[in-house]
Chains A and B, each alone.
Chain A
Amino acid sequence: GQQVMQIPQYQHVQEGEDFTTYCNSSTTLSNIQWYKQRPGGHPVFLIQLVKSGEVKKQKRLTFQFGEAKKNSSLHITATQTTDVGTYFCAGKEAAGNKLTFGGGTRVLVKP
């Protein structure tokens, strides 16, 4: 079945620095979504990418979908303490409505 891998599993970032988390699928995706889960909370939708090579920005967050629609990345610039949490990518195959989630990247920010 479809597998979605995320690296790194943990990311310790100094406040103000940039970092990137990567997501790779074993199969071609129809779209990819990103979610953020704050400590003790539930996953919250951030964005969906559909087109090959698509890039979307949300303030300091930049999301990219690979040309082959099998990988994606999330880049955060000038990390803030509010960025703490776990970021999940979730891939959707062409058929059906279910998502396959990656294992997540847990981000810790050092002030």
Chain B
Amino acid sequence: DAEITQSPRHKITETGRQVTLACHQTWNHNNMFWYRQDLGHGLRLIHYSYGVHDTNKGEVSDGYSVSRSNTEDLPLTLESAASSQTSVYFCASSELSAGQETQYFGPGTRLLVL
């Protein structure tokens, strides 16, 4: 069955370190998204991609970067981790089908920055 996976599921890191969160989907979807979820803020879009070599900034992109070298993967990099980036990170993918575009979410990565 097609799926979307994230790794690691939990990560503890120190302020200033570079961290990369992986997202892999086997749906063959063109669209992929990264969100962070914090209490009281719901899901906020960090970066998104509509296809290979395409990346776009979301509403909270500062301090994050992504790259899309193939259809299946959209890794999220925190260039220099900050305590404010402690959060739960969700990756999602989507494709338009029969007029409906559903986002399928991965299980999430809990990141703690000390």
Please state if B42 and A88 are interface contacts (CB–CB under 8 Å).
yes
Interface centre among A33, A92, A99, by most chain B C-beta atoms within 10 angstroms, is A99
Check A102–B102 contact: CB distance below 8 A.
Answer: no
Given A1-B59, A42-B90, A43-B90: A97 in contact with B96 (beta carbons within 8 A): yes
Name the CB-closest residue of A to B101: A97
Interface SS of chain B: helix, strand, loop or mixed?
A: strand
User: Distance (Å) between the CB of A85 and the closest chain B CB?
Assistant: 13
CB-CB contacts of A1-13 with B at 8 A, as 1s and 0s? 1000010010000
C-alpha spacing A92/B16, complex, angstroms: 35
Give chain B's interface residue range (CB within 8 Å of chain A): 20 to 34
Q: Is B94 an interface residue (CB 8 A)?
A: yes
In angstroms, Cα B43 to Cα A88, docked, is 9
Q: Which residue of A lies closest to B31 (CB)?
A: A97
B59 touching A42 by the CB < 8 A rule?
no
Q: How far is the CB of A9 from chain B (nearest CB, A)?
A: 8
Q: Does B50 contact A (CB under 8 A)?
A: yes
* Smallest CB separation, A45 vs chain B (Å): 4
Interface string of A63-96 (1 = CB under 8 A from B): 0000000000000000000000000101010000
Interface size class of A (residues with CB under 8 A): 20 to 34
Judge whether A104 and B102 touch: CB under 8 Å. Answer: no
Contacting pair B40 A103 (CB below 8 A): yes
Convert A43-59 into 0s and 1s, putting 1 for each residue whose CB lies closer than 8 angstroms to a CB of B: 11100101000000000
Type the 1/0 row for B94-114, where 1 means its CB is closer than 8 Å to any CB of A: 101001111111111000000
**Is A42 within 8 A of B108, CB to CB?**
yes
A–B Cβ pairs within 8 angstroms, 14 of them: A1-B59, A35-B103, A42-B106, A43-B43, A45-B104, A48-B100, A48-B101, A48-B102, A88-B42, A88-B43, A97-B48, A98-B58, A101-B45, A104-B42
The 3 closest A-B pairs by CB, nearest first: A103-B42, A101-B43, A42-B105
Which residues of A approach B to under 8 Å, CB–CB? 1, 6, 9, 33, 35, 41-45, 48, 50, 88, 90, 92, 97-104
Chain B positions within 8 Å of A, measured between CB atoms, are 31, 33, 35, 40-45, 48, 50, 58-59, 90, 92, 94, 96, 99-108
